[in-house]
Amino acid sequence: MFEVAEAYEAMMGRWSRQLAPLFVEFVGVRDGDTVLDAGCGTGSLSAALARMTKASKIVGVDPAGGFIEYARTQIADPRVTFEVGDAQNLPYSDASFDRCMALLAVDYIPDVRRATLEMRRVTKTAGVVATAMWDRSGANELDSCFWHAAAAIDPTAKGSSGRRGSYGSAEALSDLWIGAGLIDIEVAGVTMPCHLSSFDQLWQPYLRSQGATGAFMAGLSADRREALREAMRQNVLGDGPDGRFTLQAKAWAVRGVVS
Ligand SMILES: C[S@@+](CC[C@H](N)C(=O)[O-])C[C@H]1O[C@@H](n2cnc3c(N)ncnc32)[C@H](O)[C@@H]1O
């Protein structure tokens, strides 16, 4: 589902880079902490951790080799390493990290319950395990601007909230963390403005998108794709001229402590 780093960066990496510092603030990292970035992708979270904290070691792990290669080219900080690996079977000893974080990843891990148990296993007692996912309730304009347009041209389009394993709500994330046996669980909504200078800046990345939007796009003929483009343009600009606009993005973050 994910492999082409440049396409991911254009579509989502630009927003996960903006979300990552808010997630780091929510989780809290102490000087000298060792931190695992599970499902690191192209390295947005690891980059924010390196920039914002005095963590002693930051490890990014992801099964997508193309993403790991790209991430390695982005960060030249000796505290940061990237490795190909699977969050369902983490290649680390028990209690290796002070913080284990996963940004925008849990929806994409086939056996997410197993992955959360693995995240807890590799985290020290009293350490923190945390994740964040985009809100899937419709309050996240970054997500809903596409799926509302998709539903307008195809009433059977499921939208992201109807997909398997959607953890884009406070309840779903809280339940997942309770199921992982974590304690002192806290959940918070995180919002951020996404500034765009033209409609094409929003639309063009969808032409190479991966994940659920990419799968939906791949099933469209050229005519239907044009209808989707027009429906989306109407959603964000109405009948007005092209130009700058802002979408409000919303995510949910959860943190819990290992007992
Ligand atoms: C939406 S991307 C998020 C990437 C990055 N954390 C970010 O915020 O930009 C989802 C990531 O989950 C990764 N992923 C999928 N299955 C995984 C697994 N079993 N273990 C770890 N990561 C996985 C994908 O390869 C992809 O990099």
Phi, psi of 102 (to 5 degrees): -140, 115
**Å from CA of 238 to ligand 1 middle:** 34
Question: Is residue 1 scored above 80 in pLDDT?
Answer: no
Kindly tell me if the per-residue pLDDT of 160 is higher than 90.
Answer: no
Give distance in angstroms: CA of 62 to centre of ligand 1: 6
Per-residue model confidence as pLDDT tens digits over 56-99: 999 999 999 999 999 999 999 999 999 999 999 999 999 999 99
Measured in whole angstroms, the distance separating CA 61 from the mean position of its chain's CA atoms is: 14
The closest alpha carbon to 173, from 218, 112, 85, 121, belongs to 112
Q: Is 104 in the pocket of ligand 1 (CB under 6 A)?
A: yes
pLDDT at 161 over 70: no
Nearest CA to ligand 1 atom 13: 39
Q: Is residue 38 a contact partner of residue 180, using CB atoms and an 8 Å limit?
A: no
Query: Is the Cβ atom of 100 under 6 angstroms away from ligand 1?
Result: no
Which residue lies with its CA nearest to atom 1 of ligand 1? 104
Q: How would residue 162 be classed by pLDDT, with cut points 50, 70 and 90?
A: low
Q: Is 41 in the pocket of ligand 1 (CB under 6 A)?
A: yes
Strand 34-38 relative to strand 183-196, pairing: unpaired
Q: What are the pLDDT digits (tens) for 201-259?
A: 999 989 887 778 888 998 899 999 999 999 999 999 999 999 999 999 999 999 999 99
Q: What is the pTM of this model?
A: 0.94
Copy the structure tokens of residue 31. Answer: 């000087």
Domain 5-257 has CATH 3.40.50.150: yes
State if residue 86 touches ligand 1 by the CB under 6 angstroms criterion: yes
Determine if ligand 1 sits within 6 Å of the CB of residue 85.
no
